[in-house]
Amino acid sequence: MAGPKTTASSVSSSSSANALQTLWKAYNDTTSPRLKLVDTFLVFLMLSGVVQFVYCILVTNFPFNAFLAGFGSCVGQFVLTASLRTQVNPTNRSEFKDVSPERAFAEFALGSIVLHFFVYNFLG
Amino acid sequence: MAVAYSLPSDVSPATVTNTRSLLRIIALALISGAAIASRLFAVINFESIIHEFDPWFNYRATRVLASEGFYEFWNWFDPTAWYPLGRVVGGTIYPGLMATSGVIYNVLHALHLPVDIRNICVLLAPGFSALTAWSTYMFTKEMKDESAGLLAAAFIGIVPGYISRSVAGSYDNEAIAIFLLMFTFFCWIKALKTGSALFGTLAALFYFYMVAAWGGYAFITNMIPLHSLALILMGRYSSRLYVAYSSWYAIGTLASMQVPFVGFQPVRTSEHMAALGVFGLLQIVAFAELVRTHVSSKQFQSLLYASVIGMGILGAGAIIGLTYKGWIAPWTGRFYSLWDTGYAKIHIPIIASVSEHQPTAWPSFFMDLHSLVFLFPAGVVMCFRQLRDEHVFVIIYAVVASYFAGVMVRLMLTLTPVVCVAAAIAFSSLLDTYIEPTEPDVADDSSGKIAETAPAVDAASSGSSTAVSASSSTAKKTKKAPTAPPSVSAVAAAMTPSKKGEKPRGIFGLDTRFIVLLNAVGMLLFFVLHCTWVTSTAYSSPSVVLASQNPDGSQHIIDDFREAYYWLRQNTPENSVVMSWWDYGYQIAGMADRATLVDNNTWNNTHIATVGKAMSSSEEVAYPILRKHDVDYVLIIFGGLLGYSGDDINKFLWMVRIAQGVWPDEIQEPNYFTPKGEYKVDDMASPTMKNSLMYKMSYYRFPELFGTSQAIDRVRGQQIPKAGTTLDYLDEAFTSENWIVRIYQVKKEDILGRDLKSANAFAQGKKRKRTKPPVRRKATV
Amino acid sequence: MLLLAVLAACLLPLCLASSDSDYAKLKQLAAAGNGLIKLDEHSYNILTAPNRNWSATVQFTALDNKRRCTPCRDFDPSFNTVAKAWSTVPAPERDSHFFGTLDFDNGMATFQKLGIQSAPIVRIFPATDGPRRPASGVTTPISYDLTYGYEPGPLAEQLSKYTPVPIPYKAPFDWGRVGTFAAAALVLVTTLRFISPVLRSRWTWAIGTVLTCLVMTSGHMFVRIRGMPMSGPNGQWIAPGFQNQFGQEVQVVAMMYGLLALAFFMLTTVIPYQTSPQRQRVQVYLWSFVIFIMFSVLVSCFRVKNRGYPFRLFL
């Protein structure tokens, strides 16, 4: 998820720095605090995934299943949280007619439980 | 408003709804009953027995699971298979099937229903076919409506293409896999339509079950990404797609790695890379969409698109690079041979040798699908008319599966569900149009006149009228095809009916309705007759037990296989090793309980080639091979007496070919042909052929059976030389009633240290008459 | 030192050879023919002399037009290419394996003696003497399996098992194919503006999809993989047997399926738009009749393939 942001900024420095500022501003203005909380969690998960990946590449991938379980739990939790974020985002209301915010959270919880069941089983 | 025939008008809408759901439930129950019943021909005509080859292994493994529990089964090392290598069963199978029967067995026993494990195994496939019918109903309901769903369920319940792999006793992975396939697809469509992570998770769970049950799970692994990619390319990306795909992939992939046989493949092999690639692409696209909602600067947006495309290309390049570096395994031979159709024949003859891996001729399609085969394209066109997201899925599935089914006979199984779904869509559209009682107005001038849709009273067509009207705006959509990815609202707007003038008007008169419906019902009846006939004659043979007709028309059972296997079980030491061609490995292990050299789990090509070499070499060459592998008995299948064409002489060329692949300078295929290039077993047969162990074992003492008249091989229709063959290193141990199974005992080394040939000559010379075991039974010719 | 050893190794057989003059002659013939010896009765006997310390690959063929051997002419270039590739290896190895071709018109007696009745055939004659005699001691000629195809690639690969060093055959870079591909891509890109409405139209895709489905379910892949001919000898177009079919059957069956599908499509989606009752009635009857007749024809075709099929319709 960090990809486009970094490449975009590296392509053209001056104009995109400006654009990034407007983006940041627009984000701060339009996003509700609750969504910001979710976003913080997303950033944390992403950083945690990156750290594991770097460790795997630089040090060792020895218990490969453990690495996959850890990395998978980060990625899985990330996409589930991102799904939750899109589902509860008021701008997407028209798209998710069948999914109320409450139901979205229940689905998020269920998905996470299933995910972490497999993660736990895979840690070995 | 004119009607062709009147409907009762004094029924309340609530009654109609209730009656409809009741009728649906009854119809589904009847369909399930029909699906199960039509699969029981095998049990009625023969008996409750496990069929064919692979099911015998599954049955044997299930017995271990049921008697010794799951942990024992998981760690089961089978020393009798692939003698002397053995096989770690837990790590080399898809355990879903056995686990399913194990659970059913334990549940039934917990309820104090002492059902035999064999009966559970025999009846598992019919039971799951009922579930398949139900899941096809659910799937088709998402495509069109309930009535199409019921038709699809009825089609898949009795269509021979699916029955062929799921009759009672056909206890194989496919038995449960088709249900899982359809249900996973249903969950996926549902998740995509509602954008619910719940259905995504469910899809992942059933995907996990599928991975545990059948190697064909790779079909799902590639179908869903393909569908998503097509949607993105069509500019139909939506947050629902993101939710559905991400939740399915993240959970499903992690879950699939729990199956020991699959292991790390989902992150290591090319078959799974499409799913990973689309997952990455979706993350990038989703992020870009998110940024787009916050910033409206034109320049920034174009920058964003450039970076999305750049990232996509970079990711694809990375995957290709990793494949070259060897981090990601390239496609396996089995998978690759689907694309490069000549590949298998040259490089992996063992795959090409399997009869169900042959390409499919059109009569097979017609036999397996009957009238559905031409309703299927019509249904695909109907999908194009509406072209909602889920219809794209059916279209892709149709193209991919019809290609695969053309390349390999066994993949007809994956084509069958989509044929049933598409045909049901076409057929129910036809019925909707012609059952609908409203007649259009005769006036043909005004285009603004609207043919009113039926009131809710009309039970049969209320669902369809909306569907048909939704489809009428095809031209509009294409004109609007936008350059920027359209938001979902635009797609939704294009889908809603807009041009009322284009509405179909309807059908005039009662006779037109009558003729079309008569035609349609007649076709359905013919379909049912065809399916019943095909099932009862072609697909219900256990192949372990054969049937023939006596002159008076009564059935005659040929039970040579079991006769021979039980002979092995009762007359040979328990630790003896039996060599046979790999086709019979599982049956020998399952029925005779003896160790085998090779079996149907064809993982070790060299070992199979060793057996092929022994069979195709002369006795002198073969004997050391047999002794080195501790072979005590050699079992062959010979159909020459009875005309059983699936025998070893007909498979012999494959043994030669596979052996040639490993020992090209010792075994050469052309040597087994006559100088004219024909494959013959009579006088003209080449010397190499006549000296081969297989030939000798097959025709040993065969001419004696015919007395003074000429011996004729009934499969190949050729005369066998009267001189007959001699065997020095083997002894005939057993020949079954109709000579289908012949078992030979391998002689031990001579006690005096002579080679067996001279020892034999010596013994013969002394006694003049060789003592032979009397023919156990006279064959019934 | 190594060089000396190699030299010694290849000189040694020379001393043992039946007659050095024969060997020299073969070398000379091979050099003259670009690595390939055009054999006749005499040189064939030299090449396959019973005590040879060289090995040889011989192609038996019939290239003359009056022999009407199309496969021979198809295969001959591949064999020549491989022989030519062999002539580029270093001399010591090169001269211990020869490529020869014997035409039927130059060696009828040999053909008769060997009982060869079909061509082309490739046989490999291992060395019977000297250091390259096979370890297994089997020196009978080995036939090359032509089921690998007539392409030079697999031929070189298979023959390399019998040569002292692998044949250095490399498939020529297919400029023509790449060029066509690039040109097609270029045309596509330049005309994208004009054809994009066509590409964007769902009906283009619909036609493609339906054609694919029709062709695949009519056994096209069977014909392609098995290399079945368009029609059988004496003009029959239905191949006998259930698991068999000719190329023409694909077309006929696909057309029947297509017509039936079209009839259903017309009945369901086009006829309801018809405004005049009379015209609509005629069309309904017409298409119903088409369905009935075509289905009968289809079933009767199936009866030809599957003799035991008990059902029949109108026909």
Q: How would DSSP label each residue in C26-83?
A: HHHHHHHTTTEEEE-HHHHHHHT-SS-SSEEEEEEE--SGGG--HHHHHHHHHHHHHH
Residue B497 has pLDDT above 60, yes or no: no
Burial (CB count <10 Å: 0-12, 13-18, 19+), residue B552: exposed
CB B580 within 8 A of CB B564: no
* Cβ <8 Å between B478 and C217: no
- Any C CB within 8 A of B487 CB: no
pTM (predicted TM-score): 0.83
At residue B665, does pLDDT exceed 80? Answer: no
CB contact under 8 A, B258 and A122: yes
Q: Where are the domains of chain B?
A: 560-767
Q: What percent of chain A has pLDDT over 90?
A: 44
- How far is CA B622 from its chain centroid? 37
Closest-CA residue of chain B to C121:
B670
**By the CB < 8 Å criterion, does B403 face chain C?**
yes
Structure tokens at B219: 């079909």
Tell me which chain B residue has its CA closest to the CA of residue A115.
B251
Which residues are bridge partners to B269 per DSSP?
Answer: B329
Q: Is B239 within 8 Å of A86 when comparing Cβ atoms?
A: yes
Q: Do A111 and B201 touch (CB under 8 A)?
A: yes
B414-451 pLDDT, tens digit per residue, is 999 999 999 999 999 999 999 888 888 765 444 433 33
Q: For a pLDDT cut of 90, what percent of chain B falls above it?
A: 42
In sequence order, what are the beta bridge partners of B331?
Answer: none
Residue B174 has pLDDT above 80, yes or no: yes
Q: What is the dihedral of CA C182, C183, C188, C193, to 10 degrees?
A: 120
Angle, helix B117-143 to helix B54-68, in steps of 10 degrees: 110
pLDDT at B453: 36
Using CA atoms of B12, B16, B17, B19 in order, give the dihedral in degrees to the nearest 10.
130
Of C138, C206, C292, the CB nearest to B519: C292
Question: For testing the chain A interface, which of B142, B190, B202, B239 should be mutated: the one with the most A CBs within 10 Å?
Answer: B239
Helix (H) or strand (E) holding B128: helix B117-143
Phi/psi-derived region of residue B82, left when phi > 0, alpha when psi is between -120 and 50, beta in every other case: left
Contacts with B73 (C-beta within 8 Å, 6 or more apart), sequence order: B61, B64, B65, B89, B90, B95, B98, B102
Interface test with B, best of C123, C260, C267, C301 (most B CBs within 10 A): C267
Answer yes or no: are the C-beta atoms of B152 and B421 closer than 8 Å: yes
CB pairs under 8 A between A and B: 143
- Summarised one tens digit per residue, pLDDT across range A29-56 is 888 888 899 999 999 999 999 999 999 8
Q: How confident is the model at residue B454 (pLDDT cuts 50, 70, 90)?
A: very low
* Chain B residues in contact with C285 (beta carbon < 8 A): 512, 515
CB contact under 8 A, B295 and A115: no
Do the chains contact at B194 and A26, CB–CB below 8 Å? no
- Helix, strand, or coil here: A101? helix
Residue B90: count other Cβ atoms within 10 Å of its Cβ: 19
| 3-state SS string for B14-77 | HHHHHHHHHHHHHHHHHHHHHHHHHCCHHHHHCCCCCCCCHHHHHHHHHHHHHHHCHHHHHCCE
The predicted structure's pLDDT at residue C294: 93
For position B486, what pLDDT does the model report?
37
User: What does the buried/exposed string (b/e) look like for B379-417 if buried means 16 or more CB atoms within 10 Å of the residue's CB?
Assistant: bbbbbbbbbbbbbbbbbbbbbbbbbbbbbbbbbbbbbbb
- Whole-Å CA distances, B627 to B71, B652, C111: 36, 22, 42
- Cβ of B442 within 8 Å of Cβ of C244? The answer is no
Query: What is the C-alpha separation between C314 and B760, in angstroms, rounded?
Result: 68
**Segments in chain C forming alpha helices (H):** 2-16, 20-32, 41-47, 70-86, 91-94, 108-114, 152-159, 175-190, 192-200, 202-217, 220-226, 247-265, 277-305
Buried b (16+ CB within 10 A) or exposed e, B156-184: bbbbbbbbbbbbbbbbbbbbbbbbbbbbb
Q: Match 């079991």 to its residue by tokens.
A: B562
Q: For testing the chain B interface, which of C203, C220, C242, C269 should be mutated: the one with the most B CBs within 10 Å? A: C269
Shortest distance between the Cα of B177 and any Cα of chain A, in A, equals 22
CA–CA dist B363, B356 (Å, integer) = 15
Considering CB atoms only, which of A73, A92, A122 is closest to B239? A92
Contact B34, B157 (CB under 8 A): yes
| Cα separation, B97 vs C290, whole angstroms | 46
Chains with 3+ CB–CB pairs under 8 A to A are B
A96 at the B interface (CB within 8 A)?
Answer: yes
CA-nearest residue to C243 within chain B is: B361
Q: Does B448 touch chain C (CB under 8 A)?
A: no
If pLDDT is split at 50, 70 and 90, which confidence band does B524 have? very high
Whole-number Cα distances in Å, A55 to A49, A52, B328, B719: 10, 5, 20, 73
| Structural element, H or E, at residue A83 | helix A64-88
State the Rg of chain B over Cα. Answer: 31
User: Does B58 contact chain C (CB < 8 Å)?
Assistant: no
B377 vs C210, C244, C298: nearest CB: C210
pLDDT top residue among B366 and B291: B366
CA dihedral for B718, B723, B729, B732, sign (positive or negative): positive
d(CA B289, CA A91): 12
Q: Least CB-CB distance to C148: which of B346, B374, B515?
A: B346
* Facing C210 at nearest CB: one of B373, B380, B512: B380
**SS3 category, B700:** coil
Q: Which domains, ranges and CATH numbers included, belong to chain C?
A: 15-159 (3.40.30.10), 218-305 (no CATH)
Residues of chain B found within 8 Å of residue A80, distances taken between Cβ atoms: 197, 246-247, 250
Q: Could you tell me how far CA C84 lies from the centroid of its own chain?
A: 21
Quote the pLDDT of residue B504.
63
From chain A, the residues in CB contact with B300 under 8 A are: 16, 19, 22-23
- Reported as a pLDDT band with limits 50, 70 and 90, residue B464 is very low
β-sheet bridge partners, residue B734 = B743
Q: What is the pLDDT, as a whole number, of residue A15? A: 62
Which of B190, B238, B247 to probe the A interface (max A CBs under 10 A)? Answer: B247
Chains C and A touch (3+ CB pairs under 8 A): no
Kindly determine whether residue B406 and residue C217, on different chains, have CB atoms separated by under 8 Å: yes
Q: Which amino acid is at C213?
A: C
The pLDDT value recorded for residue C278 is: 87
Q: For position C163, what pLDDT does the model report?
A: 78
Nearest CB to B264; choose among A64, A73, A92: A64
Mean pLDDT, residues A60-72 taken together: 87
pLDDT at residue B171, rounded to an integer: 92
Reported confidence tier of residue B769, pLDDT bands at 50, 70, 90: very low
pLDDT at B686: 87
For chain B, list the contacting chains (3+ Cβ pairs, <8 Å).
A, C
Cβ neighbours of residue C236 closer than 8 Å, sequence gap 6 or more: none
Q: Helix (H, G, I), strand (E, B), or coil: what is residue C123?
A: strand
Query: For a pLDDT cut of 70, what percent of chain B falls above it?
Result: 88
Report the distance separating Cα C31 and Cα B346, nearest Å. 33
pLDDT for residue C19: 59
Residue whose tokens read 């494949």: B323
Run of H or E residues at B620: helix B619-628
More confident position, B300 or B324: B324
* Residue of chain B minimizing CA distance to C134: B665
CB-closest option in B251, B264, B308 to A118: B251
Q: Do B385 and C269 touch (CB under 8 A)?
A: yes
* Of B23-37, B622-636, B664-678, highest mean pLDDT: B23-37
Q: In tens digits, what is the pLDDT along chain C, a chain of 315 residues?
A: 444 455 444 444 444 444 577 788 888 887 777 778 888 888 888 888 877 878 888 888 888 777 777 778 888 888 888 888 888 888 777 778 888 888 888 888 888 887 777 778 888 888 877 777 777 666 777 777 676 667 777 788 777 877 778 878 777 777 888 889 999 999 888 888 888 888 888 888 999 999 999 999 999 989 888 888 888 777 788 888 888 888 888 999 999 999 999 999 999 988 888 888 888 899 999 999 999 999 999 999 999 888 888 888 877
Q: What is the CATH number of domain B560-767?
A: 3.40.50.12610
Give residue B461's pLDDT band: very low, low, confident or very high (50, 70, 90).
very low
The residue that leads in pLDDT, B151 or B464, is B151
Q: Answer whether B536 touches C (CB < 8 Å).
A: no
Q: Are B250 and A4 a contacting pair at CB < 8 A? A: no
Residue B399 contacts by C-beta under 8 Å, 6 or more apart in sequence? C209, C212, C213
Q: How large is the C-alpha radius of gyration of chain A? A: 17
Closest to B478 (Cβ–Cβ): which among C201, C218, C262?
C201
Mean pLDDT across chain B: 83
**Around Cβ B97, how many Cβ atoms within 10 Å?**
28
Local structure of B78: helix, strand or coil? strand
DSSP string, B186-246: HHHHHHHHHT-HHHHHHHHHHHHHHHHH-TTHHHHHHHHHHHHHHHHHTT---HHHHHHHH
Task: Name the strand (E) or helix (H) holding A54.
Answer: helix A33-58
Residue A19 confidence (pLDDT) = 72
Residues B176-181 have a mean pLDDT of 94
The contacts of residue B681 (CB under 8 Å, 6+ apart) are B649, B689, B695, B699, B713, B716, B718, B720
pLDDT for residue A23 is more than 90: no
Residues of chain C neighbouring B618 (CB-CB closer than 8 A) = none
The alpha carbon of residue B299 is apart from the nearest alpha carbon of chain A, in Å, by 9
How far apart are the C-alpha atoms of B614 and B634, rounded to whole Å? 10
Q: What is the pLDDT of residue B91?
A: 82
Contact B516 C267 (CB under 8 A): yes
CA angle B54, B57, B62 (to 5 degrees): 125
| pLDDT on residue B503 | 63
- Predicted local distance difference test score (pLDDT) of residue B476: 37
Report the Cα–Cα distance between both ends of chain A, in Å, rounded.
Answer: 29
Whether residue B429 contacts residue C269, with contact meaning beta carbons closer than 8 Å, is answered with: yes
Distance from CA of B492 to the nearest CA of A (A): 10
In contact, B152 and B140? CB cutoff 8 Å: yes
